[in-house]
Amino acid sequence: MNGAGAAIGCVCGIALGLLTQHDQSRALVWGGDAEGGAPFVEADPADPSTVRGFDVEVAARIAGGLRHGPARFVQVQWSNIDQSVERGDFALGLSGVEDTPVRRTRHAVTLPYFEFREVLAVRTADQDRIRGLRDLRGRRVGTLGATIAYELLLSARDSTGIIPVSYDDDVHPYADLVAGRLDAVLLDHIIAQRALKRNGNEGFVILPAAAAIGHYVGVLAKRDSALRDSIDAVLREAMRDGSLEQIFRRWQVWDDSQGALFERVLRPGAGGGTTAGRDGAVAAAPSRALAYLPSLARAAGVTLLLSFLSMALAVLVGLALASGRLYGPLPLRIFTTGYIELVRGTPLLLQLFVIYYGLAGVVRLPAFLAALVALGLNYAAYEAEIYRGALEAVPRPQLEAGRTLGLSEAQILRLVRAPQALRYAMAPMTNDFVALLKDSSLVSVITVVELTKQTAIYATNVGSWVVPGLLCAIVYLAMSLPLSRLARRLERRWGGRSS
């Protein structure tokens, strides 16, 4: 009883904490992504409930300078920092946030406080052959999605035929580079250096030439420009008094270019704005929307192809599982039941990671194939249960009639039971297919750019979810509604056969 009471109390406490997260009255609430986030933001190994990193210290320095009370950290997915700050989840986004023209247009952005170089990492064996993006024609180059580096790769795709591969995090691109899934990774130099260190300084090398120069900034909601100006003042002060340099030195990311950046920023008359590595101004919204339509169409094609192939696999494996569960000997029945329960009882996301990354040592599946296998094998478990239920729903006299006619059990299954069960299975199968269509969005975590991922990239780049979200919803509906209608028609037709 006490245990239950404590558990309820604990749950209430957590719920209260989540609900009061918006209370920003005293502390400087700032958002960042601690997932694989060193040296920017990471969970402190000594006390994983707190975070550490140079951005953590920059936030603390800003809070101190503002005399605002302590800095309080809020975890947010890196690609959602802009949307979250605009929603008011926190006042300041800091986590290796890049200075881009789009971001400057959409939000209030601080002056740049760190200069980074976009650098290429290639496998050690390739360092003599690959000197820059030009040498990567037709090769797969990975990076973090919705970054300057990704934009660089997209423009290089058109000019040099590179194949850009987008990731949701900055750890797996290097793992895939070493594993041979990628030929190069383009990312910020401190991310590359950290990855190299994590890899024991082997497996790949960082090319010395920078593909572009960029800057980290803090991002605030558009309406918070007054707070932004105060933060800029604190940052200037921190550059002047050496406290920012100390932070960077502590985290071993200080170099000469930072000193030069500080000088430029502190020069009288210097504005906050700096060049971003990405060229081109922000185009007007309608033409940007049009520019994204081809890639949305391509991504919708990926979603559709992946869904159809996965469903085909799910149906085949599901039939085998259901037959095994209904007709197989005891060991097979135990195996199929175990498989079904295991797959249905664990998240699809976990299965995707296991198949793509976990099995990489045994079998190195290409991303699309891994996505197909993971979705197919996952849905097979659900299909198997649908088929089992449908097979069991066929009335017993139908089977007995088959027996009295001298049909074998296999013939009864093939000629009597399965065709009748198919009618019962049609409606739930359609529901599953529509669900699969939507679940296919999860595969973006293993670098497959499908519709939702493309929409997220689009939304991040234009800084709004309204148009991209609507377009994406329309495309999903355009794919799923005809399927539902087709299934209803099939059901009606088959119903007509027997009514």
Partner 1 sequence: MTSLLTIYGLGVRYDSRDLIRGLSFAVRRGEIVALMGPSGVGKTTILRVVAGLQAFDSGQVIVDGFALGPGPIPAESRLRPLRRRVGLVFQAHALFEHLSALDNVTLALRHVLGQSRPEAELLATKLLAELDVGSRAAAWPRQLSGGEAQRVAIARALALDPPLLLMDEPTAALDAARRTGLGTTLRRLAQQGRGLLLATHDMEFARDYADRAITLASAPPPADAH
Interface with partner 1 (CB under 8 A)? 395, 397-398, 400-409, 411, 415-416, 419-420, 423, 497-499
Task: Count CB neighbours of 92 within 10 A.
Answer: 29
In the complex, minimum distance from the CB of residue 412 to partner 1, in angstroms, rounded to a whole number: 9
Nearer to partner 1, 270 or 401 (CB): 401
Q: Which is nearer to partner 1, 341 or 409 (CB)?
A: 409
Taking Cα atoms as reference points, which of 36, 28, 89 lies closest to residue 58?
Answer: 28
Q: Which is nearer to partner 1, 268 or 406 (CB)?
A: 406
Closest by CA position to 446, among listed 348, 380, 377, 323: 348
| Cα(136)–Cα(139) distance, integer angstroms | 5
Residue 160: partners with Cβ closer than 8 Å, 6 or more residues away:
133, 134, 136, 137
Minimum distance from residue 387 beta carbon to partner 1 (Å): 16
**Residue number, 20 or 499, with CB nearest to partner 1:** 499
Smallest distance, partner 1 to C-beta of residue 405, A: 4
Where is 469: in which H helix or E strand? Answer: helix 466-497
Query: Cα separation of 184 and 135, whole Å?
Result: 10
Q: How far is the CB of 429 from partner 1 (least distance, A)?
A: 17
Report the C-alpha gap between 470 and 465 in whole angstroms: 8
d(C-alpha 399, C-alpha 390), whole Å? 14
Q: How far is the CB of 402 from partner 1 (least distance, A)?
A: 8
Nearer to partner 1, 50 or 411 (CB): 411
Nearest distance, CB of residue 418 and partner 1, angstroms: 10
Q: Give the distance from CA 264 to its chain's centroid.
A: 36
Helical ranges in 123-185 per DSSP H: 148-160, 172-179
Helix (H, G, I), strand (E, B) or coil at 216: strand
- Residue closest to 278 by CA, chosen among 419, 147, 88: 147
Least spacing, CB of residue 425 vs partner 1, in Å: 13
List all residues 6 or more positions away from 273 whose beta carbon is below 8 Å from its beta carbon. 104
3-state secondary structure of 218: coil
**Neighbour count for residue 228 (Cβ, 10 Å):** 23
Q: Which is nearer to partner 1, 288 or 423 (CB)?
A: 423
Using omega within 30 degrees of 0 as the cis cutoff, is the peptide bond preceding 39 cis?
A: yes
3-state SS, 96-114, equals CCECCHHHHHHCEECCCCE
Cβ proximity to partner 1: between 260 and 410 the closer is 410
Q: Which helix (H) or strand (E) holds 376?
A: helix 367-393
- In the complex, the smallest distance separating the C-beta of residue 392 from partner 1, rounded to whole angstroms, is 16
Closest CB to partner 1 among residues 239, 412 = 412
C-beta closer to partner 1: residue 267 or 493: 493
Nearer to partner 1, 56 or 390 (CB): 390
Q: How far is the CB of 332 from partner 1 (least distance, A)?
A: 19
Contact 272, 110 (CB under 8 A): yes
**Shortest distance, position 10 Cβ to partner 1, whole Å:** 53
User: Which of 200, 193, 170 minimizes the C-alpha distance to 182?
Assistant: 170
Exposure b/e, 143-162, CB count within 10 A at least 16 = b: bbbbbbbbbbbbebeeebeb
Q: How far is the CB of 326 from partner 1 (least distance, A)?
A: 16
Name which of 129 and 414 has its Cβ closer to partner 1. Answer: 414
Q: Which is nearer to partner 1, 124 or 398 (CB)?
A: 398
- Going by their DSSP bridges, the two strands 47-52 and 42-44 should be labelled as antiparallel
- Alpha-carbon distances of 107 from 90, 99, 233, 350, 468, rounded to whole Å: 13, 11, 18, 35, 18
The CB-of-496 to partner 1 minimum distance in angstroms stands at 8
Cα dihedral 92/93/95/101 (nearest 10): -120
